[in-house]
Amino acid sequence: MLGLPEGVEACLFDLDGVLTATAAVHAAAWKRMFDEFLKEWALRHGEPFVPFDVRSDYGPYVDGKKREDGTRSFLESRGIHLPEGSPDDPPSAETVRGLGNRKNRLVLKIIEEDGVKVFPGSVDFVRAARAAGLRTAVVSSSANTAQVLRVVGITDLFDARVDGVVAAERKLPGKPAPDTFLAGAEAVGVPAARAVVFEDALAGVEAGHRGGFAYVVGVNRLDAEHAAGLREHGADVVVDDLSDLLKPDLPEPAPLRPGLPKADAPKPGAPKPGAPRPGAPTSGARETGAPEEDQ
């Protein structure tokens, strides 16, 4: 019993806030970076300093988005328009990319010092989904997804990975566009109409809703207001932890619409669930170089 509609064949999981307890790390890093910038900006322009508010700014503007998209979105909400810059801008550069890299440096420092924790209930759910024969993928805006999965020891629980590295290589737009989730479904050979999206971010839930997926599970790690926002952005169900879906008293979800296509049957020699599919952006893809964290 997984608490999902009958007929689904794949689960697509966001990383931060769904599988790993790193969403708070990102929020703290965004606040510190933006507050430092906003103080300098207010001083130079003779304006009052209004700090970045994690409660009211994090969800709508940066959570779940690619780093540059989140930076740009929040600044525009304050009427600030900076040059885009380039991906290799130093953290000191006053550009969208430079500020994003400044935030990235803070995230990596926190992860290096404090490590990364997983949500046990999420790991239990992923294992249960795989035991039931469902294919699994991680879909994250983080360019450091492979390293995080390896550090916490859950790489082998996923058939494919679509992350910030893959999105950049394939020029996929970030959430709330559904493209990365659609790529995740394609990577495991399942149509969107037979796949379930698991997300804690408003942008990610919206991406799942817009992509025509079978079911969108919103994961609420915050409060009632965030839970309501997840529903408003398209979540079919909202849970506090993925282990809630395994409870026997959970109401049965609505069945899939009749006539939806099924995933192709595995061809002779095709990898089994748990093994990388040929051409899929798996957990072994591109793990060289210094870790870089998106979102």
Q: Which two tokens stand for residue 221?
A: 């790690």
Beta carbons of 83 and 96 less than 8 angstroms apart: yes
Per the DSSP assignment, residues forming a β-bridge with 135 are 10
Q: Which of 277, 10, 261, 7 is nearest to 134 (CA)?
A: 10
Q: Which of 242, 293, 263, 270 is nearest to 19 (CA)?
A: 242
Q: Give phi and psi for 244, each to the nearest 5.
A: -60, -30
Q: Which two tokens stand for residue 78?
A: 């304050």
Contacts of 220 (CB under 8 A, 6+ apart): 200, 226, 227, 230, 238, 239, 240
Q: Which of 105, 54, 59, 280 is nearest to 183 (CA)?
A: 280
Task: From the candidates 14, 159, 200, 294, give the one annotated as an active-site residue.
Answer: 14
Catalytic residue at 249? no
Catalytic residue at 16? yes
Task: From the candidates 16, 63, 69, 89, give the one annotated as an active-site residue.
Answer: 16
Give catalytic residue positions.
14, 16
